[in-house]
């Protein structure tokens, strides 16, 4: 219901539209500290740890340097706030309003095809990605991969560029290999 509108995955894709308002980061793990530090360039940020982790002293100092508030309580519910934002209801009954909530969900492959073809996977920071070389060829000769399936940082411009490059490389392999 909220995905792509007020629950977002990438400040580089969606940050401009929500800049200037209170923002949140819903942790899926310790990488959320990194995400919260980046998103602080778009607004006032609260990192909702959702009971998943407690930052160490170095991480807390990094958050403080970026003026990121840390909220350890679990998140109970997300609800619309009457405009374009969200109300984040915490398990202890407190509520916080945000214009948008960023999160980094773990990714999975949408199709078993790469696995069925015998491609190798690398564990990226958000889940498995198909292992490719610098020409987008997988570990299986003649099989190329690009886009979100082959890189951890998901962005439509990167996906289109990678797909175009994989196509060029696949064509060249048909001609020259």
**Overall number of domains in the chain:** 2
86 and 54 in one domain? yes
99 and 118 in one domain? no
Q: Residue 152's Cα: distance from chain center in Å?
A: 8
Mean pLDDT of the region 121-142: 95
**Alpha-carbon gap, residue 104 to 84, rounded angstroms:** 21
- Give the largest CA-CA distance in the chain: 65
For the chain, the first-to-last Cα distance in angstroms comes to 48
| Contact (Cβ atoms closer than 8 angstroms) between residue 98 and residue 23 | yes
pLDDT in tens, 46-62: 999 999 989 999 999 99
pLDDT (0 to 100) of residue 152: 87
Instruction: Tell me, yes or no, whether 1 lies in a domain.
Output: no
pLDDT (0 to 100) of residue 168: 97
Instruction: Tell me, yes or no, whether 2 lies in a domain.
Output: no
If one counts every other C-beta atom within 10 angstroms of the C-beta of residue 135, the result is 13
């Amino acid at each position: 219901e909220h995905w792509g509108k007020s629950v977002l995955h990438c400040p580089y894709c969606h940050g401009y539209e929500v800049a200037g308002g209170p923002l949140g980061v819903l942790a899926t793990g310790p990488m959320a500290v990194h995400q919260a530090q980046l998103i602080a360039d778009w607004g006032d940020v609260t990192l909702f740890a959702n009971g998943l982790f407690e930052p160490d002293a170095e991480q807390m100092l990094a958050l403080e340097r970026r003026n990121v508030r840390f909220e350890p309580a679990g998140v109970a519910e997300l609800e619309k706030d009457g405009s374009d934002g969200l109300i984040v209801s915490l398990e202890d009954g407190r509520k916080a309003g945000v214009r948008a909530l960023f999160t980094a969900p773990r990714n999975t492959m949408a199709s078993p095809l790469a696995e069925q073809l015998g491609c190798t996977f690398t564990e990226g920071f958000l889940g498995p990605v198909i292992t490719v070389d610098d020409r987008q060829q997988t570990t299986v000769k003649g099989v190329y991969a690009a886009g979100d399936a082959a890189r951890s940082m998901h962005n439509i411009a990167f996906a289109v560029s990678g797909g175009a490059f994989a196509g060029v490389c696949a064509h060249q392999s048909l001609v020259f290999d």
